[in-house]
Homo-oligomer: A and B are copies of this chain.
Amino acid sequence: MANIRDLAKEAGVSVATVSRVLNGYPYVSEEKRKAVWEAVEKLNYTKNIQAVHLAKGRTTIVGVMLPYIHHPYFSAIIEGVSKEALRYGYQLLLFQTNYDVERELEALERLRMKQMDGLIVCSHQADWEIFAEYQEEGPIALCERVDGYDFFTVYIDHYQAFAKALRYLLDKGHRRIGYCIGRRTGPNSQARAAAYEEVLRDAGVTPQRQWIFDGCLFLEDGKRVIEQWMAMGERPSALLVTSDQVAAGIVLYAQRVGVRIPEELAIIGFDNDPLAEMLGITTVALPHFTLGERAFRLLHHWLETGNVPRKQEELPTRLIVRATG
C-alpha cells in the first residue's frame, strides 16, 4: 500500500516536497511537481486511500436522518455529530426527510445494503416498529426518548426541562403563564404540552390555550410574539420560549417598543445560546450539541468494539437564572 514515503521514493524527492505538492503550497519547481503527480498516478495513491476502507469492510460513512437542516435544533445536533465524525475520520450522509416516510425507508434501506456503517436518527415520522426491524440490519442510534422498544438512545427529557422552568415561574408568583414553540406535533412538543397542562393544574392554575404561540423558530419570530402579546386583552405575565434565538428576538423587540422585561413580561428561554448570555436571558440549558456528540461517540464505540449498547442515556438540563425572569 503506497504511502507518502513511497511517493517520495518514486518521485525522487523528499517527503516534505511530496507534502508541499499535495497541499498545493508554492516554492516547488515545476519539474518536482510533475514528478510527484506522476508518482501519485503510477502508485494509484488516491485509489489506495479508498482501498484501506474497503479492506476493513467499512464505508466510514455514518448516516444522519433528520427532517431538515435549516433549523437551529437540528443544526446544533449535526454540529455535535460532525465534530466527532471529523475526529474519527467519518463522513456524514445526511438524509433530509422532510418527515416523508419514503425517504426514511430509503435511509434504512441504504443501511441494510451496507452503504453506510450506522445511522443516527434525530427525528422521524415512520412507526417505531420499522426502526426496530432495521436495527437487525445495522447499528441505529436515536436522539429521542423511546418507551417500549429496546433502542439505543441518547435524549433530553423535555417534559422535565419544561416542568422545571414552569415550577420556577410558579414559585416566583406567576399565575398567567404561556409559551412559544416551534411546532405543536412531534414527541418533544407533546412532552412540553403535557408538562404545561399537568404542572399548571397541579398548582391550581388553568392552562390557557390562547397563550401558546406556535411557529416560533427564529430570532425574527420574536417580533410577532410581542405584537400578538400587546394586542391581547388578558396577557400572560411570563412566557417560556423553547428557543433562545426567539427569546432574544422577543427581548430585543420589547426593548424597541418599550415593553419592560421582566416587569411586564418575564421570559425564560431554552438552549443557553451565547446570545442569551449576552442579553442576560434566563434560560434552561439544553445540550443539543452534546446530544449529537454523544450519539456519534456511542455509535462509533459500537462499530469499533462490536458491543451493542442497549441503554437509554438521558442528558441533564439546567436552569440558569439571569435578568429576564
Contact = CB atoms under 8 A, between A and B. Distances in A.
Question: Chain A: interface secondary structure?
Answer: helix
A274 B219 contact: yes
A214 interface: no
Contacts of A13: none
A280 B105 CA distance: 46
A21 B130 CA distance: 10
A22 interface: yes
A312 to B, nearest CB: 20
20 contacts: A22-B101, A22-B126, A23-B101, A23-B127, A24-B125, A24-B126, A24-B129, A24-B130, A46-B106, A46-B112, A50-B113, A82-B96, A91-B95, A93-B93, A218-B274, A219-B278, A220-B274, A220-B278, A252-B278, A252-B279
A38 to B, nearest CB: 12
A94 B113 contact: no
A122 to B, nearest CB: 14
A76 to B, nearest CB: 10
A220 B126 CA distance: 40
Interface string A73-104: 00100110011011001011111101001110
A40 to B, nearest CB: 8
